[in-house]
Structure 1
Amino acid sequence: MKKLLLLTFIVSATFVSAQTNNKKISVIAYYAGDAQHIDAYPVEKLTHIIYSFCHLKGNQLNVDNKNDSLTIMHLVELKKRNPSLKIILSIGGWSGCEPCSLVFSTDVGRNEFAASVKHLNEYFKTDGIDIDWEYPAIEGYPGHRYTPEDKHNFTLLLQTLRNTLGKKYEISFAAGGFTKFLQQSIEWDKIVPFVDKVNLMTYDLVHGYSKVTGHHTPLYSTPQQLESTNNAVHYLDSIGFPKNKLVIGAAFYARIFDTDIDANNGLYQPGKFDRGFSWKDFDMDALQKEGYVYHWDDVAKAPYMYNAAKKKIITFDNERSITLKTKYAVDQKLNGIMFWQLADDKTKDGLLDALDKALHN
């Protein structure tokens, strides 16, 4: 009887430990869709939804229109389905932070912004702010202002937000997953006390302006491509940034590139970006009928497809790579995994389902 009780205790303790470990892993969805479509997604499998995007109006965080307000309010209502779910407001995006460098360069701008963030979170009953400024101190969206002072001003912005919001609200930011951003945009040693999470955009590592093809969201570097999820995590760990504040990124969309020559199944060749498309529109059978051949890069741990006749390569995340990224986040004791974006997923048997399965297997 004692042995049975001991065995029961061990099994129960193991189960509780597994549950606790899983709860430590954030599963964060950026969401740029509307109020209606999100109901079809398994939001019970998420810890956070980041509403994308609010914008600056003057020095203040602004919700653009009635539809955006309705969407945010509906996201908050999803807590009835998932009581532990947190809804985060976000500012910026690739083209959405044009005034950020100027506004965040002054105490007045930072203070007014932080006050507006607190006001909107209180009004909507949301749970924090995510800053998606692409990028402080280095060139981002063409024509947007950037200055060397952005780097320190970003630290002051996070400090002002924390002083204004206190501990009640979460503060995170979307960080470029590439080396130049990691080395030049952020005062990593100074921001630690102010942020809960850093959402590493370890996707678009080969992007719309790239002139050489490659994996846009690989887990590991290859001899031909340094930029990867592991490269970003390793760099930040090497300079002492706490890994338990790092969230790695996955892509719920694919990118197609044209290659100049037919070589190496399209990888690491001169070429240019053609277009992107959502995972929900990814049809393996149709692509294979068009002449695309599926490949798996076992070094990068990344899938891709190549059409030799058309000289086109598709780079993406799939169920296999998402599973490996999720297990990497757990094994490395990171804060979690996030993705852009939920509305790109399939509503059933999608990449979020694969991610959740990886967490619980």
Structure 2
Amino acid sequence: MKTADKKPVVIGYVTGYSGLVNQDQIAADKLTHINYAFVNVKNNQAYLDNYKRDSTNFVRLNSLKRKNSNLQILISIGGWSWSENFSDAVLTDSLRKGFAKSSVDIIRKHKLDGVDIDWEYPGMPGEEGNVYRPEDKQNFTLMFEAIRKELDILEKETGKKKLLTTATGGFPSFLDKTEMGKAAKYLDYINLMTYDYYSSKQAGHHTNLYDSKTYPSDNSADKAIKAYMAAGVPASKIVMGIAFYGRNLKLSTTAQKGLGDTIASTANSYGKGYTFLKDSVVNKKGFIEYKDEDAKAPYLFNTETKQYISYDNEWSVANKCDYVLKHKLGGVMFWEYSSDKNGYLLNQITKSFK
């Protein structure tokens, strides 16, 4: 099978930190991969923060293979809150070897299929208090090399392919602090977090495919993907991120149209999931849905309350999937599964990739 003929991957992040996973609510037949979020980094090792909960979740997620025998289950290490110790954990050869071994030991023990690294961010600040240093640039690559070596050992033991993927910043400056062209050699997929874009002054889109003409945007999925390809990452390994949640802004009292208007506050900017938005908010309670045709991004604006919400809907997701097919990218991933319990967006992805 030639790479070009491969069906795009559909990678869903499923969270375990909020409790036990209800596997009956996961449409296993519509996914190719599940990335279990998150595994912590502690004492320079990959560490299950709540062993009882996490190990139960692994059993539950593995049970989905009865519905889809090709489904792959990966652990995702790090995330926004647990990235502070990456820099220390991969500082030297021996530390990297230990970290790689501890990561692969988790998937060995729990019969999983791969490791996903979500380091936010090498060489630059993520959450306040995170350790980062210039050497992260090379160590990021060397970490993947070390994990790949350990996965190769596990492949020989099990006779099964084991995957190495990463979630990366969906903005070009991420590429200044990393060697993604080199790192890509060790990676099966690079999941671009092409969401959480927003400016501090004007209401913009948080997960737009293209630039908006209404307001000047630094970021878009298209810009990020082109930058990654220019940095030497093969299109077939690039996975575009889709947001299953919205972001809310409160705009100034003079706001007229929403997009491009002045932001008054970003309090509670982390919005609700798409199921809630579609069922309870879109074109209800004063919220009108608009389409930015240039950016291929929808938004909601309430002229009374001056609330503005940016999100992905079926239309924007269809445009993203078309882009993936047109540019022969690896596929799509989304954050995160439980934000769209009714499966509106996942159904659209399935339809687009049919």
The reply to whether TM is greater than 0.5 is yes
1:344 maps to what in 2? 339
Is the counterpart of residue 63 in structure 1 residue 48 in structure 2?
yes
Deviation track 1:187-212 (CA, whole Å, cap 9, x = no partner) reads 022212111110000010127xx443
Checking the alignment, whether the CA contact within 8 Å between 1:262 and 1:308 is kept in structure 2 is: no
Q: Matches of 2:106 and 2:231 in 1, distance apart?
A: 35
Shift of 1:138: 1.1
Q: Matches of 2:282 and 2:320 in 1, distance apart?
A: 25
Runs of 4+ with deviation above 6 angstroms: none
Distance 1:139 1:264, change over 3 A: farther
Deviation track 1:291-319 (CA, whole Å, cap 9, x = no partner) reads 11110000000100111222221000011
Gaps of 5+ in 2: 156-160
RMSD of Structure 2 on Structure 1 (CA): 2.0
Checking the alignment, whether the CA contact within 8 Å between 2:45 and 2:89 is kept in structure 1 is: no
Checking the alignment, whether the CA contact within 8 Å between 1:38 and 1:343 is kept in structure 2 is: no
Distance 1:194 1:211, change over 3 A: same
Task: Give the letter for the 1:281 counterpart.
Answer: F
* Greater percentage in helix: 1
Gaps of 5+ in 1: 1-15
Structure 2 counterparts to residues 150-299 of structure 1, below 5 A:
150-166=136-152, 168-182=161-175, 184-206=176-198, 210-223=200-213, 224-263=216-255, 265-271=257-263, 272-275=265-268, 276-283=271-278, 286-299=281-294
2:131 maps to what in 1? 145
Q: Matches of 1:194 and 1:212 in 2, distance apart?
A: 39
Q: Matches of 1:213 and 1:114 in 2, distance apart?
A: 42
The counterpart of 1:112, out of the listed 76, 80, 98, is 98
Q: Matches of 2:226 and 2:248 in 1, distance apart?
A: 28
2:297 maps to what in 1? 302
Task: Give the letter for the 1:40 counterpart.
Answer: Q
Aligned residue pair count: 339
Greater Cα shift, 297-306 or 98-107: 98-107
SS in 1 for 2:123: coil
Checking the alignment, whether the CA contact within 8 Å between 2:4 and 2:328 is kept in structure 1 is: no
Checking the alignment, whether the CA contact within 8 Å between 2:44 and 2:88 is kept in structure 1 is: no
Deviation track 1:227-279 (CA, whole Å, cap 9, x = no partner) reads 11111111122233211110000000011111225346222333232331111
Distance 1:21 1:37, change over 3 A: farther
Distance 1:36 1:98, change over 3 A: closer
Greater Cα shift, 92-101 or 184-193: 184-193
Q: Matches of 1:54 and 1:237 in 2, distance apart?
A: 29
Distance 1:21 1:187, change over 3 A: closer
2:14 maps to what in 1? 31
2:62 maps to what in 1? 76
TM-score, normalization by structure 2: 0.90
SS in 1 for 2:266: strand
TM-score, normalization by structure 1: 0.89
1:355 maps to what in 2? 349
1:43 maps to what in 2? 28
Q: Matches of 2:222 and 2:336 in 1, distance apart?
A: 21
